[in-house]
Amino acid sequence: AEAGAILVIGARTKETLDEVAADLEARGGNIHAYQCDFSDMEDCDRFVKTVLDNHGHVDVLVNNAGRSIRRSLSLSFDRFHDFERTMQLNYFGSVRLIMGFAPAMLERRRGHVVNISSIGVLTNAPRFSAYVASKSALDAFSRCAAAEWSDRNVTFTTINMPLVKTPMIAPTKIYDSVPTLSPDEAAQMVADAIVYRPKRIATRLGVFAQVLHALTPKMGEIIMNTGYRMFPDSPSAAGSKSGEKPKVSTEQVAFAAIMRGIYW
């Protein structure tokens, strides 16, 4: 917006869209807001058609809408819908948009897709199997698409985003006591992806975790299991209605500080 871009934004909640559009317009952007539920494939198709009819093409697509579920597998045996709904939004919704906007990008031989992935894909985060699997699927799709479209100048950036202080993590009260990225820091990562178009943006800790899992997978597994045992499931994940904020030990705070941004 501050660079004078024409911005198309989409989300489920009209009130939030209007609020964000007003803020972006105040920053100098030309804003077009469209209400859309990106977990609904027909709504995705309607969104794509509306955008193309009104604007002709998009230069950059940022797939940011996402659903996260923090729940141990041992509490998920009767919750297969957790896996279905994360895939529906995080994978199928994003792929639907990519496939909708890609033909115009390929015809113009110009386009860039920014996928907001997760540090959990690099760390194999426990309790986030549904979420991480959906983000991993999008990562794999994007690598395959990038290989097909490389010579046609349609490119991809994957951002392995660490934990960010947003309403999405609010239900997990223990996150109130661990270090996280601010929304502004996360937004800067997205801006860098748009401007510089690297293949991947990740924190050094995320990259280290990926290398550790590649070179000594058992060591990486033990470290993640240590964190898994150190941090409990939230009361809501365990089926409890308790809203009491959990007590956080010095050891938990120190461990989370060392592993800043990793999901536990």
What pLDDT, in 10s, does the model give residues 117-161?
999 999 999 999 999 999 999 999 999 999 999 999 999 999 999
Nearest Cα to 255, choosing from 213, 221, 216, 223? 223
All domains in the chain, ordered by first residue: 64-258 (3.40.50.720)
Q: Given pLDDT bands bounded at 50, 70 and 90, which one contains residue 264?
A: low
Q: Where are the alpha helices (DSSP H) in the chain?
A: 14-26, 41-55, 80-86, 94-108, 119-123, 129-149, 183-196, 204-215, 217-230, 250-258
Instruction: Judge contact between 89 and 37, C-beta under 8 A.
Output: no
Tell me: pLDDT of 75 over 90: yes
Average pLDDT estimate for 237-248: 68
Q: Can you give the pLDDT at residue 171?
A: 62
- Which two three-digit tokens encode residue 181? 């990225």
Strands 6-11 and 200-202: unpaired
Instruction: Give the model's confidence band at 174: pLDDT under 50 very low, under 70 low, under 90 confident, else very high.
Output: low
- C-alpha–C-alpha distance, residues 18 and 10, integer Å: 10
Burial 10-27 (b: 16+ CB within 10 A, else e): bbeeeeebeebbeebeee
DSSP-based three-state secondary structure for 167: helix
Residue 252's pLDDT band, with cuts at 50, 70 and 90, is: confident
**Residues recognised as catalytic:** 131
Instruction: Kindly report the pTM of this predicted structure.
Output: 0.89
pLDDT of residue 145: 98
